[in-house]
Amino acid sequence: MTVDDLHAMWRIRAFEEKVRELRVAGDIVGSVHLCIGQEAGPVGTGPVLAPQDALFATYRGHGWALARGVPAEPLLAELLGRATGINGGRGGSAYFTAPEHGFWGENSIVGAGAPIAVGAALAARTDDSGRVAVTVFGDGALNQGSVHEALNMAGAFKLPVVFVCENNRYSELTPIADMVADPELWRRAAPYGMPGHRVDGNDPAQVRAAAAEAVDRARGGAGPTLLELMTERLVGHYIGDAEQYRPAGEVERALTREPIARLRAALAATGVGAAELDAAESRARAEIDRAAEAALAAPAADPTTAREHVYA
């Protein structure tokens, strides 16, 4: 429980709020999914990964990229379709990748990152990299056949992969409890021969402890782990989601237990002063404001380069 964690979560929150502002203004185009309210997962997991480890995120991956070390300015430039973007403006919000930072991309197909991560873990058996692969997906993705195939292969071959399910209680617009017989998704690990754990996904310290154990287990040759991070998103599934499916008062109640509010209150209770707590937010917002200003000033990507780096 540290002020550094608070700053890291504010950095993701400020980034996502800036993305929402730019999307509403029309500077960012296309479908955008924000992780506001889910910042503790990436902040808790990022520090336990080694440089050679490979992280595969969903289309809600901005926070995971930031936690993996992707700089804010080229990331914003990518979303804005600028030539200075992390992929030259080609990937946008749902498809960018930054392997030089150990972030091996998002995937717009639900659950598709899981089998790719299993491939990276299998390759680690032969390239002597000591790599652990981490794949992040939502609760609905655990109903995808490709995810079950990935879990089965990882368990059968004891591959160094960590499956991270961000359970924000909604599979897009439908409560996960209405879609499965047993909503405790961590229990699905046992049939595939791996441990499963349900973790408070709004507490970066608890996430870090669970992720560290899973990564160490994988790197040591003991095989995969499934982590179910219990969290809540404070915004719609996508920008423009009217959220008519959410009961009255649900978001307001979530605001009392979301990760930033919780950590700020906990730190204040230990004697951390208001000025230091406020500074964590102001530093994060100032950085993101500068990054957005620089990204907006960058030249637009050249559309004639759209087919570069495309393989079929």
Instruction: Please provide residue 198's backbone torsions phi and psi, each rounded to the nearest 5 degrees.
Output: -95, 130
Examine residue 64 and state whether it is found in any structural domain, yes or no: yes
Q: Whose CA is closest to 163, among 288, 12, 56?
A: 56
Q: Which residues constitute the domain of residue 86?
A: 3-295
Q: Which tokens hold the place of 211? A: 């992720």
Examine residue 20 and state whether it is found in any structural domain, yes or no: yes
Instruction: Please provide residue 175's backbone torsions phi and psi, each rounded to the nearest 5 degrees.
Output: -60, 135
The confidence score (pLDDT) of residue 289 equals 98
Query: H/E element holding 199?
Result: strand 196-200
| Total domain count, the chain | 1
pLDDT in 10s for each residue of the chain, 312 residues: 799 999 999 999 999 999 999 999 999 998 899 999 999 999 999 999 999 999 999 999 999 999 999 999 999 999 999 999 999 999 889 899 999 999 998 988 999 999 999 999 999 988 989 999 999 999 999 999 999 999 999 999 999 999 999 999 988 888 888 989 999 999 999 999 999 999 999 999 999 999 999 999 999 999 999 999 999 999 989 898 888 999 998 889 999 999 999 999 999 999 999 999 999 999 999 999 999 999 999 999 999 988 888 877
Q: Which tokens hold the place of 247? A: 């009961």
Examine residue 246 and state whether it is found in any structural domain, yes or no: yes
Query: H/E element holding 170?
Result: strand 170-171
Examine residue 309 and state whether it is found in any structural domain, yes or no: no
The confidence score (pLDDT) of residue 310 equals 81
Cβ atoms of residues 173 and 187 within 8 Å: no
Q: Whose CA is closest to 170, among 160, 180, 159?
A: 180
Examine residue 151 and state whether it is found in any structural domain, yes or no: yes
Examine residue 89 and state whether it is found in any structural domain, yes or no: yes
> Rounded distance, CA 287 to CA 72, Å?
8
Sheet containing 196-200, strands listed edge to edge, beginning at the edge strand earlier in sequence: 54-56, 133-138, 161-167, 225-230, 196-200
Examine residue 310 and state whether it is found in any structural domain, yes or no: no
Examine residue 302 and state whether it is found in any structural domain, yes or no: no
The confidence score (pLDDT) of residue 231 equals 96
Residue with tokens 């990331």: 75
Residue 281 belongs to domain with CATH number:
3.40.50.970
> Rounded distance, CA 2 to CA 293, Å?
29
The confidence score (pLDDT) of residue 241 equals 86
